[in-house]
Structure 1
Amino acid sequence: MEATGSSLTPLIRRRGTAGEATVAQTLGNIVVSIVGTGVLGLPYAFRVAGWLAGSLGVAVAGASTYFCMLLLIQCRDRFEEHNDEEIDDATHIQSYGDLGAKAFGTRGRYLTEFLVLISQAGGAVAYLVFIGQNLSSLFANTNHSLISPSIFIFLLLLPLELSLSFIRSLSSIAPFSVFADTCNILAMAIVIKEDFQLFDRFPRERIAFNGTWGLPYAGGVAVFCFEGFSMTLSLEASMADKKKYRWVLLLAFIAITLIYVSFGIFGYLAYGDETKDIITLNLPNNLSAIATKVGLCIALAFTFPIMMHPIYEIVEMKLALIGWFQKLRCNARGERLVVQGARMLVLLILSITASSIPGFGSFISLVGSTLCALLSFVLPATFHLLLMGSNLKIWQRAVDYIILLIGLVFAGYGTYDALRDHITSS
């Protein structure tokens, strides 16, 4: 969800694909697939939880996500080794839904695909909220925003994305993902530069641990920032030497975790209680900050169709199962009109949802603590238990059950906390 380029490939792809990527190329691709706009919400999460609690939350989220990615690799490897002699294109595991089907049958496929669909939609909504709030901040005075973020979403973003939804080939849009990641790095660099300039006014009373209730919020944001499952096995398959993939993945996670922790601490120390849920909103409206915000918004607007690709794919796949739509197969123009209409309807729903989101930080924490937790922890642990079967040792089963239990509790509490905040604010 988090990565702009992660949506180009299914979660699991055939092992037979020839790999040519070097260690350095794979390392770079892993970083690109994970680091996204969620990182700009980390300083606010550190403000809510405290700098020490936030740091621990990011570290635990990173370690847990890395471990669960390895569980998925083990599941796929074990299944394909077991069926190596009789496997064909129809029996290969090629998607997260395929794993769900192997574990729980048709219902498992539907549940898994539903969670992927909703979580991906959550990431797309986060894009719209981020762009809308940053563009709105460009027209703000000292007291309030002159233009509502919703205006930008409906009058600027929605028409643009409706136009881009006509493009079927993602290869023409994919280069913008590189621009988006460059802008992300530039934004982080400018924010850290501003942070260092504020070092002399750092008060000593910055909070290290802001109570137990702040931990789930920071954990949700951290999980959202680390969500990159859709590239896990595709990147492994792309490597020339697949045996090194686990170590490359580990190196990438260590580096990303250190960057996240440093960025979160510096942002919180610089602005303290004034830290906003998108740290770029704390930047002054000088030339460099404006250029960064505009660059981020443009890049994300053009990589938004890549984020939407899995949603379009699932919707169109379900359409193909409907009887009246199947009759349109003999009418290519009618089929295209229905498919395009479905895409436009999805975009309209997501835009309406984004316009009703009060805060970027609260929203990504909700998505991270519920949907991302289910996809990143609960399902991998469950699939590992069921698909590996008797091959698991007692301690491996115990670890899977612990991950499963913690993931369910985390998702349940995240939902409760979000509903409680919504009811309180209402």
Structure 2
Amino acid sequence: MAHLKQTFSSLFKCFRETPSLFLGLMRWDSCLDTDEEHVNFAKSDELNRAHSENREGPDGPLKFELDICHQDPEYKSPAPLPHAQAKLITSWEAGWNVTNAIQGIFVLGLPYALLHSGYSGLLLIVLAAALCCYTGKILIACLYEENEDGQLIRVRDTYEDIANACCKKLSPSVGGVVVNVTQVVELIMTCILYLVASGNLLSHSFPYVSVTEKTWSVIAFVTLLPCIFIRTLKIVSKLSQLCSLVHFVIIFVVITYCLTQMDQWSWAKFRMSLEFEDFLVSVGVIIFSYTSQIFLPTLEGNMKNPGEFRCMLNWTHFLACILKTTFALTAFLTWGEKTKEVITDNLPSFLETLVNLCLLTKALLSYPLPFFAATEIVYSCISKDNHSNYRSPLLALTVRGSFLLLTLLMAMFTPHFALLMGLSGSVTGAAMTFLLPSLFHLKLKWKKLSFLEKCADISVFILGFLCSLAGIVCSIKGLLEVFGGV
């Protein structure tokens, strides 16, 4: 599929120079509602106060294993709020949002990552699922504190609240400011990437139409204008469900074709020797295809039954691990050393149109979640000191419209966007996924953690630091080469 190769060639060229470019692809933050009759996730919101006062979190210490499903037997539902309760999401809907976050477009690069990591790549796929599931759990644990009776009570609502609690001796709000800026940068960069990808896909899907790629991006932008009017996480969850279903169609098509080629499979195709830089590319692709930590605190707070959150997180990561392993393994066994950076390039031409349209649909359906999350973070920050404006529909539309236009302008006029995203992702992505969850957990729960839990958090922190450092070095090197500095 030649046109798909052209679509992603610039991005995957950067992946070789920027192993952590995937850091910025799958970062979702809290998705907030802004209407008075809907759920509101700012600290001043009535529903969050009800959650903090009336419910308990998951009981007992967090476990590292993926196969533990636990729900607090004494879980208490929030106080009745008829309008808000109607907009809370089920565990299934929460699962679709997480699946949308950890099953992105660039899962198509996993077979290529396996090419450069060999047998260790299979282990990395499983290990990455365990690590990201674990950091998601410890991040949620930071939202809870024990009361006088030893029961876990939700006393914080967002990533910002956790940061402020850890930095309160330094400054009451500095931690939250840093976290919010980091979140918005990553989410907006992700939105821009989806818009760029949509323009590329449209351009190569209709080569006979004399329209530039930027013009196609504007056309894709027009189809995304309804995002301005999305006010609830429930609507975003439905879009995430559709996005995940389209993703499964793509995976099904590839795996089905590979199964028809089983007679060509050979385990001898796996590489035993590894190139260090190529291995870093594989680590970046595999580990950061699972990330959804920024999105989790408010997702858990918006569930009808938050006690099911850990079970939901276990199952989504477990199933993602199975699906990604199966997909990467069957594709690599089919094409071996001929595996392309985007695996759909290896497919025969008669599957070209179907896969291309599915990729375009997935890119467009993936856009609303990070866009909605980013605009609501800014909206809540603007309005937190003025509750009368906090529920202003006009202010919400202004913020959303401004951000939608911003993503279009940056998609059209930012030079070397992929490399710049790799650099920002190396700093912000590793921090939000590994560094901050482990650091906050150690800070807030140090006295209650066992020795093994402390060792696990410290190990995750070191891993995140090394990934971030390697990504920064490679990103800067790539930018210097592009601008003629080296």
Query: Is 2:153 the counterpart of 1:93?
Result: no
C-alpha contact 2:95 2:316 (8 A) present in aligned 1: yes
Alpha-carbon displacement from aligned partner over 1:275-303 (angstroms, at most 9, x marks no partner) = 343333443442x5423321342343244
Q: CA deviation at 1:147?
A: 7.1
TM-score normalised by the chain length of structure 2: 0.69
State the shift of 1:336 in Å: 6.7
User: Which residue of structure 1 aligns with residue 462 of structure 2?
Assistant: 405
More displaced, 270-279 or 52-61?
270-279
1:175: which partner in 2?
A: 238
The one-letter code matched in structure 1 to 2:318 is: I
Aligned to 2:14: none
Structure holding more helix per residue? 1
Cα distance change on mapping 1:97 and 1:192 into 2, 3 Å: same
Report deviation, 1:412.
Answer: 1.3
What secondary structure, in the 3-state scheme, does the structure 1 residue paired with 2:229 have?
coil
Contact 1:62 1:226 in 2 (8 A): yes
Whether the 8 Å CA contact 1:149–1:355 is kept in 2: the answer is: no
Q: Distance in 2 between matches of 1:84 and 1:381?
A: 23
Among 230, 252, 259, the alignment partner of 1:196 is 259
Counterpart in the other structure of 2:369: 306
Work out whether residues 219 and 365 of structure 1, in 8 Å CA contact, stay in contact via their aligned partners in 2: no
How far apart are the structure 2 equivalents of 1:43 and 1:137? 23
Task: State the 1:247 CA deviation.
Answer: 4.8
Q: Contact 2:159–2:297 (CA<8 Å) still a contact in 1?
A: no
Q: Quick check: 2:28–2:292 contact (8 Å CA) kept in 1?
A: no
- Looking at structure 2, the residues matched to 181 and 58 of structure 1 have their Cα atoms a distance apart, in angstroms, of 19
Q: Relative to 1, partners in 2 of residues 1:222 and 1:214: Cα closer, same or farther, differing over 3 Å?
A: same
Paired position in structure 2 for 1:75: 142
* TM-score, scaled to structure 1: 0.78
Does structure 2 conserve the Cα–Cα contact (< 8 Å) formed by 1:377 and 1:403? Answer: yes
What is the alpha-carbon distance in structure 1 between the residues aligned to residue 97 and residue 368 of structure 2?
19
Could you say which residue in structure 1 is the equivalent of 2:339?
Answer: 275
Residues 100-157 of structure 1: CA deviation (Å, up to 9, x unaligned): 111113111011112211222232233224333433443469xxx997654422x322
Q: Residue 320 of structure 1: CA displacement?
A: 4.6
Query: How many pairs does the alignment contain?
Result: 405
Shift, 1:217, TM fit: 1.7
Give the CA deviation at 1:366.
6.2
Alignment of 1:143-158 (within 5 A): 149-153=213-217, 155-158=218-221
* One-letter amino acid of the counterpart of residue 126, structure 2: A
Matched, 1:58 2:125: yes
2:408 corresponds in structure 1 to: 348
Q: Structure 1 residue 385 and structure 2 residue 442: aligned?
A: yes
In the alignment, the residues of structure 1 paired with residue 474 and residue 381 of structure 2 have an alpha-carbon distance, to the nearest angstrom, of: 33
TM-fit CA distance, 1:233: 6.7
Superposed CA offset, 1:322-373 (max 9, x none):
9xxx8x969x898578535522442234423777446xxx888767654332
Q: Is the Cα contact below 8 Å between 1:218 and 1:365 reproduced in 2?
A: no
Amino acid at match of 2:157: Q
Q: In the alignment, is the contact (CA less than 8 A) between 2:195 and 2:408 conserved in 1?
A: no
**Structure 2 unaligned blocks of 5 or more:** 1-23, 33-40, 56-76, 79-87
Match of 2:184 in 1: 117
State how far apart, in whole Å, the 2-side matches of 1:278 and 1:148 are: 23
Give the gaps of 5 or more residues in structure 1: none
1:36 alignment partner in structure 2: 104
